[in-house]
Amino acid sequence: MRTSRKGVIGATLVAFALVAAACGSGDDASEPKEGPTIAVGSFSFGESVILAQIYAQALETNGYPVDLSKLEAGSREIVKPAIESGEIDLVPEYVGSALEGGFGGEPTADSDATAAALREAFAAVGVAVLEPAPAQDKNGIVVTKALADELGLSKTSDLADHAADLVFGGPPECPTRPRCLIGLGDTYGLVFSEFKALDTGGPLTVAALEGGEIDVALLFTTDGVIADKGFVLLEDDGGLQPAENIIPVIRQEMLDAYGDDLTSLLNDVSAKITTEELTEMNRRFGVDLVDAEEVAKDWLDANGFGA
pLDDT of residue 1: 43
144 and 118, same structural domain?
Answer: no
180 and 148, same structural domain?
Answer: yes
Q: How many domains in the chain?
A: 2
Angle formed at CA 65 by CA 59 and CA 69, multiple of 5 degrees = 95
CATH of the domain at 144: 3.40.190.120
Residue 87 has pLDDT above 60, yes or no: yes
pLDDT of residue 4: 35
The torsion region of residue 55 among left (phi > 0), alpha (psi -120 to 50) and beta comes to alpha
Residue 250 has pLDDT above 90, yes or no: yes
CA-to-CA distance for 246 and 97, rounded, in angstroms?
A: 10
pTM, to two decimals: 0.79
Residue 15 has pLDDT above 90, yes or no: no
Mean pLDDT, rounded, for 6-15: 36
Mean pLDDT, rounded, for 25-33: 61
Confidence at 14, pLDDT banded by 50, 70, 90: very low
58 and 186, same structural domain?
Answer: no
Order of all β-strands in the sheet with 216-220? 194-197, 167-170, 216-220, 139-143, 232-233
pLDDT of residue 7: 37
Domain boundary among 213, 233, 253: 233
Other CB atoms within a 10 A radius of the CB of residue 232 amount to 17
Domain boundary among 205, 233, 261: 233
Average pLDDT, the chain: 90
Of 41, 32, 128, residue with least CA distance to 76: 41
Residue 11 has pLDDT above 70, yes or no: no
CA-to-CA distance for 136 and 134, rounded, in angstroms?
A: 7
pLDDT of residue 307: 75
- Lowest mean pLDDT of 10-19, 63-72, 176-185, 274-283, name the range: 10-19
CA-to-CA distance for 87 and 221, rounded, in angstroms?
A: 30
Residue 228 has pLDDT above 60, yes or no: yes
24, 50 contact by CB (below 8 A)? no
CA-to-CA distance for 170 and 29, rounded, in angstroms?
A: 41
Strands of 144-279 (E only): list them.
167-170, 194-197, 216-220, 232-233, 246-251
277, 135 contact by CB (below 8 A)? yes
Q: Which pLDDT tens digit goes with each residue over 178-195?
A: 899 999 999 999 999 999
| CB environment 44-64: b (16+ within 10 A), e (fewer) | bbbbbbbbbbbbbbbbbbbbb
Mean pLDDT, rounded, for 277-284: 95
pLDDT of residue 282: 93
Between 154 and 6, the higher pLDDT residue: 154
Q: Which pLDDT tens digit goes with each residue over 201-216?
A: 889 999 999 999 999 9
Q: What percent of the chain stands above pLDDT 90?
A: 84
Would 50 be classed as within a structural domain?
yes
Would 193 be classed as within a structural domain?
yes
pLDDT of residue 23: 39
Q: Which pLDDT tens digit goes with each residue over 104-151?
A: 999 998 999 999 999 999 999 999 999 999 999 999 999 999 999 999
pLDDT of residue 237: 95
188 and 253, same structural domain?
Answer: no
Would 99 be classed as within a structural domain?
yes
CA-to-CA distance for 118 and 260, rounded, in angstroms?
A: 21
188 and 100, same structural domain?
Answer: no
**H or E element in which residue 71 lies:** strand 66-74
Q: Which pLDDT tens digit goes with each residue over 162-172?
A: 999 999 999 99
Contacts of 164 (CB under 8 A, 6+ apart): 191, 192, 193
User: Rg of the chain over CA atoms, in angstroms?
Assistant: 19
- Enclosing domain of residue 112: 11-136+243-302
147 and 127, same structural domain?
Answer: no
Between 41 and 18, the higher pLDDT residue: 41
